[in-house]
Amino acid sequence: MALTFSKIPGELLEKFNALEEKGKYPKRKSMLVPALHIAQEHFGWISDEAVAAVAEFLELSPNYVKGDASFYTMFFMDKPGKHVIQVCHNVSCYLEGAEDIVAHLERKLGIKCGGTTPDGKFSLVTVECLGACGRGPVVQINNREYHEYMTIEKIDSLLESLE
């Protein structure tokens, strides 16, 4: 049943309720991953507020929500930079040189994988298969923009365009 009174921000609550109204989920708990996506879009990352909102809506403990979210690489457990560079390091992309792309980005940005530049512009992470295995190495920006057949030259001009 949809929540009508809550500490969850109104716009977010509407989206949570809309998720439930779709009727696709047999149990409330099975909405956890989609609810986390909605919360991340709202807050920008899985902050304590995001965890609290999802936990309240699904009637789960915050620790359960946080533990589940931390399992998936698509959820940011720390506040990310403005641009999140995700490099697929799964088998096909690895064989096509993903590790060279990661090493180049680490050098160029001056951070280690999993880190964020001090100016907050870029975060760098490796992720599991992005579903474009025949066109690797694949890089994704901010969870939505795909760049295939990545090379050092292409990643350099991509970084410039994001600056």
Binding site for ligand FES (CB under 6 A): 88, 90-93, 129-133, 136, 138
Which DSSP string do the residues of 5-55 spell out, in sequence order?
S-SS-HHHHHHHHHHHHT---SSGGGGHHHHHHHHHHHHSS--HHHHHHHH
Report the residue number, 66 or 89, with the smaller CB distance to ligand FES: 89
Report the residue number, 52 or 129, with the smaller CB distance to ligand FES: 129
Report the residue number, 51 or 124, with the smaller CB distance to ligand FES: 124
- Shortest Å distance, C-beta 131 to ligand FES: 6
Residue 104 contacts residue 93 (beta carbons within 8 Å):
no
Scanning the structure block, which residue is given the tokens 């180049």?
104
Residue 57 contacts residue 50 (beta carbons within 8 Å):
no
Report the residue number, 81 or 136, with the smaller CB distance to ligand FES: 136
- Shortest Å distance, C-beta 31 to ligand FES: 27
- Shortest Å distance, C-beta 95 to ligand FES: 9
For CA atoms 12, 35, 112, 100, give the dihedral sign: negative
- Shortest Å distance, C-beta 90 to ligand FES: 3
